[in-house]
Amino acid sequence: MHLIKKQQEIANAHFDTTVFAEGVAGTGKTTAAIERIKSLIKSGVSADSILVLTPQATLALPYRTALRRSRVKTAADVHTETLGSLAFRMVDLFWPLLPDEFTLKGRPHFLTLEMVQYYMSRLVEPEIRRQDYFNSVHISRNRLYTQIVDNLNKAALIGFPHEQIGERLKSAWLGDVEQTYIYDDAQACANLFREKCREYNMFDFSLQVALFRDYLWQQQPVRVYMTKKYRHLIVENIEEDTPATHELLREWLPVCESAVLIYDKDGGFRRFLGADPDNALTLKDVCKVHVELDRGRVMSPDLEAFQIAIAPHLGEKNGATRPKTGDPRGAIAYSQDTRYQPQMIDWAVEHIASLVHDQGVSPREIVVLSAFMPDALRFSLQSRLDERHVPSRTHRPSRALREEPAARALLTLARLAHPDWGMKPSKYDVTYALTAAIADLDLVRARLLTDILYRDGRLLPFEHISEAQMQSRITFDLGGRYDTLRAWLDTYSSTLALPLDVFFSKLFGEVLSQPKFGFHKRFDAANVAANLVDSAREFRQEVGKIEPDVPAAPEYVRMVDAGVIANLYVRDWEAEKQDAVLIAPAYTFLLYNQPVEYQFWLNIGASGWGQRLHQPLTHPYVMSLQWDENAKWTDAMEVVASQKALYYLIAGLIRRCRKGIYLGYSEYGEQGLEQRGPLLMAVQNMLRRLVREERHV
């Protein structure tokens, strides 16, 4: 691989000191770091003494993939960790060193996000109802739980006692008194959940991080173990990491043999998860060597010109000088005469199909992005792409498991296969389960099958349809597939019940993944099924340890039906294994941190670009190390924050594109309202300015 001079400085030098490598996205920092790992191993460094530390597990995928494919022996043995995984491993290994209050009940039980929501509903929800907490908050219970958890996580990651959450939020509030009561309720629930965790010996993410930071890292055996085991550090995207990680590195860097810290300028996209780019930049003073990469290796000249030209219209006053080569308009194409959203979708699909079928572009090199990705937009895109024989996949993290059609189908089929649960699915659920489970079965014929053959929680054989005309309408081919599925469920019901995760796996492997069934060669459905298997297994194992008498399978189904927000599953982010167009929210794509050839930005007139989600129980800017505790959050601050977020978002997207961006706009949005959002205005103002400049020339 050809490396420029500054990349070589990172990859092949300074093996005995600490290096701070900075630059905007696309300048080759990660590439240089991967080559450095190979060089270290070739120079005799043991692979298992090298640690790649990332803000989230998915950002380690480029390292794992490149090292696994490399010809360097033992390269695949390099460790990749996050602060969360480090905290988990150290607490699990050294828990006897914790204070007595945490060790008297033996080895702790570790909770995932899904398990946290389950025990929130079990242990905290009764108190919420008794005290009438959050009576003016109109969001789902699991969204409410995740915001309480988010507050606990931020307290641990920033480094202040969780008992101060409510006061911190209230001190910044300028509005009506009702909101202060909500913050008080959030504080009370956080306190109660932490008490219940200690009572049941359960350790959620926030407790793991707090104990690792405040107790274990301060213990000599733990610190010696970590610093002796990992002598060489590669820290990726420190601007996306949290103050807890930064403080750990501040004490670790002086005693390691070598380190490279990678800092993306204009980053900090995970700010809502605690990222602190300002605090990350202070680590530059701890490193002895500074390397700044300023040569882009991703964007074409036209895209670079576009990024620079649009920056002033997004509020960026310190933009770079426009390059002599490159035309901003050559980097973009935009929809015209698209009055309504379906026309915009047709325009986008037409161009995607042309890129794939006429120009030979790999589907994995195309992403379709929007500020948000509602179900209607996702379904319309995927169904139209299917018609054009273009494979696609979607990724929308932080969604409820039940919102995925494949998951709902599996859960409905599980209810049909376990009549002893007493959880008969509705006709509506059975209809949609059949549609998802049987290929080519549309909703109309699925509803006919359900109306005629679904009786008292059981599916009857297809031959029970007495009318020949009705059989012909459904078709014997689809009827045969239906009978295959029904017979499998009947056979299973007559045998000893398996653990739910085993049931899901068996059903997927023996029926749903087979030709003529709904999950066959469907990337999204297969991913959802795998996630559901992992989720159900984790639930069964942990609940079995904490409460052995609880019937795990029906409890799990109830939990998912209640809308539990899914864990982060790394397989959802492994794009290289799937040659398919990615459909995702814009921020989700940014967190991949992988460039593509073409991007489609849809609904650029929507107001959601750069706008943070409303979170009534928390606040990402107030719950930050950079927040002045004596300040008040004002509307002016909100406007400035939104404008900065929009600039960073758009700059980040452009820098992760190689060839071109398609801008999709419809005069009226999904709700029928006229769209005049800030991104659209910025694009139009940029184009007008370019026209004026041409006229003056």
Supply the pLDDT for residue 398: 72
Three-state SS for 76-116 is HHCEEECHHHHHHHHHHHHHHHCCHHHHCCCCCEECCHHHH
Give the CATH number of the domain where residue 578 resides: 3.40.50.300
Supply the pLDDT for residue 620: 93
Q: Is residue 209 part of a domain?
A: no
Question: Do residues 672 and 593 both lie within one domain?
Answer: yes
pLDDT < 70 regions, the chain: 1, 319-324, 570-577, 697
Q: Is residue 684 part of a domain?
A: yes
Question: Do residues 178 and 128 both lie within one domain?
Answer: yes
Cβ atoms within 10 A of the Cβ of 365, count?
Answer: 18
Helix (H), strand (E) at residue 582: strand 581-585
Question: Do residues 599 and 637 both lie within one domain?
Answer: yes
Supply the pLDDT for residue 396: 77
Q: Is residue 136 part of a domain?
A: yes
Q: Which of 562, 583, 614 is the last residue of a domain?
A: 562
Supply the pLDDT for residue 402: 85
| Boundaries of domain holding 686 | 301-398+574-696
Angstrom CA distances, 301 to 439, 644, 693, stand at 45, 24, 19
Q: Report d(CA 473, CA 258) in Å as an integer.
A: 71
Question: Do residues 541 and 408 both lie within one domain?
Answer: yes
Angstrom CA distances, 270 to 87, 146, 245, stand at 20, 16, 14
The number of domains in the chain is 4
In a 10 Å sphere around its CB, with 0-12 CB exposed, 13-18 middle and 19+ buried, how is residue 250 labelled? middle
Supply the pLDDT for residue 693: 84
Entry pTM:
0.90
Q: Which of 562, 582, 611 is the last residue of a domain?
A: 562
Question: Do residues 248 and 187 both lie within one domain?
Answer: no
Question: Do residues 553 and 649 both lie within one domain?
Answer: no
Q: Which of 202, 221, 247 is the last residue of a domain?
A: 202
Q: Is residue 102 part of a domain?
A: no
Max CA pair span of the chain? 83
> β-strands 392-394, 366-370: how paired?
unpaired
Question: Do residues 484 and 538 both lie within one domain?
Answer: yes
Residue with tokens 């120079």: 43
Residue whose C-alpha is closest to residue 547's, from 152, 149, 118, 145: 118
Compute φ and ψ for 678, nearest 5 degrees: -65, -35
Question: Do residues 432 and 456 both lie within one domain?
Answer: yes
Quote the strand ranges of 82-235, DSSP E. Answer: 109-110, 202-203, 232-235
Supply the pLDDT for residue 577: 56
Residue with tokens 């029906």: 554
Supply the pLDDT for residue 669: 78
Question: Do residues 275 and 308 both lie within one domain?
Answer: no
Q: Is residue 116 part of a domain?
A: yes
Supply the pLDDT for residue 570: 65
Question: Do residues 491 and 551 both lie within one domain?
Answer: yes
Question: Do residues 438 and 582 both lie within one domain?
Answer: no
User: Positive or negative, the Cα torsion across 87, 88, 92, 98?
Assistant: positive
Q: Report d(CA 638, CA 102) in Å as an integer.
A: 41
Q: Is residue 95 part of a domain?
A: no
Q: Is residue 221 part of a domain?
A: no
Which residues, in sequence order, are CB contacts of 178 under 8 Å at separation 6+?
136
Q: Is residue 29 part of a domain?
A: yes
Q: Residues 526, 410: contact at Cβ < 8 Å?
A: no
Supply the pLDDT for residue 320: 62
Question: Do residues 135 and 185 both lie within one domain?
Answer: yes
Q: Is 21 helix (H, G, I), strand (E, B) or coil?
A: strand
